[in-house]
């Protein structure tokens, strides 16, 4: 093989390597940003591959192509995935590590094959140069082929590991990128030492240290295995944390409903007590009338009326549980000077246990927000609407204008107490998590709007449908 033919083969293999790199990066990107694919992303992917191949034809160093690609990726992420820049950084670092480790392992294979082939050549033959170029071409083919195979295998393994990661905080990015950074730095340093030009010629690392021919690939394998294991255990930790949070939320839901049931039992116990004592009251009134104590009768009846008013419901919703919850919240609100208004009629479309969880949590949060205002300025409006097969439960309340923001940019309900569990809002603030959990079981959702100093929450529930919570 002549030198021009070798250069052509080498150029073709370079383009092949670049195409494989671009495609494998997109495989890793798709796994990380699954569920967000669209026409826009498809066009961007095609342009990314073509741009990398195009740059490969230019006489520039590889780091120039990597830099341009990284700049383009971060620009695309900043425009289309503003809230997930951290995940994009992780994907780039992970892929660069895979590239470096793959090339490090493939270099050992290349060196072994080329050395064995060159040993069989006779430098005294006229065809030595042609045969040497032939050996180099075969070696380059083995290098690119083994590199491509290793890159594909590692990318597929890592892609399966990172599936299901919707949100990745910056602390997670830093944790998971430690081995990526270390691995790429080690691989870059070793690759730079494989062949070093010195005054007397060239220093060949594998010639001086033949045992490194198998030790270096093993180091690369261990680094990759460590990164894959780190991601695996991190995913397991996320699952366990989610289960712990779910258990905590369910425990709080049960406690809240037990409290409501106890209040209902106490209320009906008071009614039974009044009924039992009514005969005594009538006898007392009759005795006062017989004695002509009409002033005492008026005072006695007034006290009875006050007692009866405490047992009367301001809002009758059609269900004993929702009656107790709404009227209890109404009394609690009005006691501290909060205006309370409800338009609520329960029709049995949703189990009262789940509906009670929503009412308790949203009204608790509304009352807590209004309590921070001056007396008389707070208000709460509760409405239950029906639209086709959906129930729309709306709670509107005044607040101090401070809107808490979650780490993902969404709105969170106010809270005054925090759990030791990350991301869990306890007691009053646990409401949003509870409400979302119930809404998702009924294929619904929660919508939050803020307009000035008015906080509006709408919970949509599909009637007669129960699904698995996400």
| DSSP type of residue 164 | T
Q: Where does the pLDDT of residue 441 fall: very low under 50, low under 70, confident under 90, or very high at 90 and above?
A: confident
Question: Within this chain, do residues 327 and 239 fall inside the same structural domain, yes or no?
Answer: no
Question: Within this chain, do residues 69 and 155 fall inside the same structural domain, yes or no?
Answer: yes
Q: Where does the pLDDT of residue 421 fall: very low under 50, low under 70, confident under 90, or very high at 90 and above?
A: very low
Question: Within this chain, do residues 100 and 196 fall inside the same structural domain, yes or no?
Answer: yes
193-233 pLDDT, tens digit per residue, is: 777 777 766 667 777 777 777 888 888 899 889 888 998 89
pLDDT in the model for residue 459: 93
Q: How many domains does the chain contain in total?
A: 2
- Tell me the C-alpha to C-alpha distance, in Å, between residue 190 and each of 8, 16, 184, 215, 455: 28, 24, 10, 12, 59
251-268 pLDDT, tens digit per residue, is: 766 776 677 677 667 767
pLDDT of 127 > 60? The answer is yes
Query: What pTM, to 2 d.p., does this model score?
Result: 0.57
Query: Looking at 247, 264, 291, which one is the last position of a domain?
Result: 247
Query: Looking at 218, 247, 276, which one is the last position of a domain?
Result: 247
Question: Within this chain, do residues 324 and 211 fall inside the same structural domain, yes or no?
Answer: no
Question: Within this chain, do residues 100 and 217 fall inside the same structural domain, yes or no?
Answer: yes
pLDDT of 425 > 70? The answer is no
Question: Within this chain, do residues 74 and 207 fall inside the same structural domain, yes or no?
Answer: yes
pLDDT in the model for residue 150: 92
Q: Where does the pLDDT of residue 341 fall: very low under 50, low under 70, confident under 90, or very high at 90 and above?
A: very high
pLDDT in the model for residue 149: 92
Q: Are 410 and 430 in contact (CB under 8 A)?
A: no
Q: Does 294 reside within a domain?
A: no
Q: Does 279 reside within a domain?
A: no
Q: Does 166 reside within a domain?
A: yes
Separation of alpha carbons 327 and 340, rounded Å: 10
Query: Looking at 247, 266, 290, which one is the last position of a domain?
Result: 247
Q: Does 130 reside within a domain?
A: yes
Question: Within this chain, do residues 10 and 144 fall inside the same structural domain, yes or no?
Answer: yes
Q: Does 260 reside within a domain?
A: no
Separation of alpha carbons 421 and 243, rounded Å: 12
Q: Does 345 reside within a domain?
A: yes
Question: Within this chain, do residues 98 and 241 fall inside the same structural domain, yes or no?
Answer: yes
Separation of alpha carbons 139 and 109, rounded Å: 9
CATH number at residue 348: 3.30.565.10
Question: Within this chain, do residues 103 and 198 fall inside the same structural domain, yes or no?
Answer: yes
Q: Does 262 reside within a domain?
A: no
Residue (of 114, 132, 164, 149) closest to 17 by Cα position: 149
* Residue 370, domain extent: 313-470
264-279 pLDDT, tens digit per residue, is: 677 677 667 766 677 6
pLDDT in the model for residue 376: 82
Question: Within this chain, do residues 240 and 317 fall inside the same structural domain, yes or no?
Answer: no
135-175 pLDDT, tens digit per residue, is: 888 888 888 899 899 999 999 999 888 877 777 778 888 88
């Amino acid at each position: 093989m002549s030198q021009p033919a070798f250069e052509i083969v080498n150029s073709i293999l370079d383009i092949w390597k670049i195409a494989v790199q671009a495609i494998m990066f997109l495989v890793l990107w798709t796994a990380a940003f699954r569920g967000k694919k669209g026409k826009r992303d498809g066009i961007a992917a095609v342009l990314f591959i073509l741009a990398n191949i195009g740059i490969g034809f230019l006489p520039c160093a590889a780091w120039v192509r990597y830099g341009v690609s990284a700049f383009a990726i971060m620009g695309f992420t900043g425009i289309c995935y503003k809230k997930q820049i951290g995940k994009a950084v992780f994907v780039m670092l992970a892929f660069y590590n895979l590239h470096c480790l793959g090339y490090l392992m493939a270099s050992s294979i290349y060196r072994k094959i080329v050395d064995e082939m060159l040993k069989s050549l006779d430098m005294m033959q006229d065809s030595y140069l042609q045969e040497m170029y032939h050996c180099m071409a075969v070696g380059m083919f083995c290098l690119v082929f083994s590199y491509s195979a290793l890159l594909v295998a590692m990318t597929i393994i890592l892609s399966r590991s990172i599936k299901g990661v919707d949100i990745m905080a910056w602390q997670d990015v830093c944790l998971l990128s430690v081995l990526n950074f270390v691995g790429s730095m080690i691989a870059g340093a070793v690759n730079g030492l494989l062949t070093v030009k010195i005054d007397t010629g060239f220093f060949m690392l594998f010639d001086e240290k033949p045992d490194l021919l198998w030790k270096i690939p093993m180091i690369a394998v261990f680094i990759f295995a460590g990164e894959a294991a780190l991601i695996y255990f991190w995913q397991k930790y996320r699952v366990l944390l989610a289960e712990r949070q779910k258990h905590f939320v369910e425990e709080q839901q049960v406690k809240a409903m037990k409290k409501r049931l106890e209040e209902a039992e106490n209320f009906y116990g008071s009614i039974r007590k009044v009924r039992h004592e009514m005969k005594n009251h009538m006898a007392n009134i009759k005795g006062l009338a017989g004695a002509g104590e009409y002033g005492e009768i008026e005072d006695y009846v007034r006290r009875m009326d006050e007692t009866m008013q405490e047992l009367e419901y301001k809002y009758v919703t059609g269900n004993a549980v929702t009656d107790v919850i709404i009227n209890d919240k109404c009394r609690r609100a009005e006691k501290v000077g909060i205006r309370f208004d409800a338009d609520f009629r329960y029709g049995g479309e949703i189990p009262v246990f789940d509906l009670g969880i929503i009412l308790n949590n949203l009204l608790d949060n509304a009352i807590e927000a209004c309590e921070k205002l001056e007396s008389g300025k707070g208000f709460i409006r509760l409405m239950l609407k029906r639209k086709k097969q959906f129930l729309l439960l709306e709670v509107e309340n005044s607040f101090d204008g401070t809107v808490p923001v979650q780490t993902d940019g969404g709105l969170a309900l106010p809270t005054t107490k925090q759990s030791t569990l990350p991301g869990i809002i306890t007691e009053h603030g646990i409401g949003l998590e509870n409400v979302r959990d119930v809404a998702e079981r009924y294929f619904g959702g929660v919508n939050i709007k803020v307009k000035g100093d008015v906080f509006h929450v709408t919970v949509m529930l599909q009637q007669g449908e129960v699904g698995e919570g996400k």
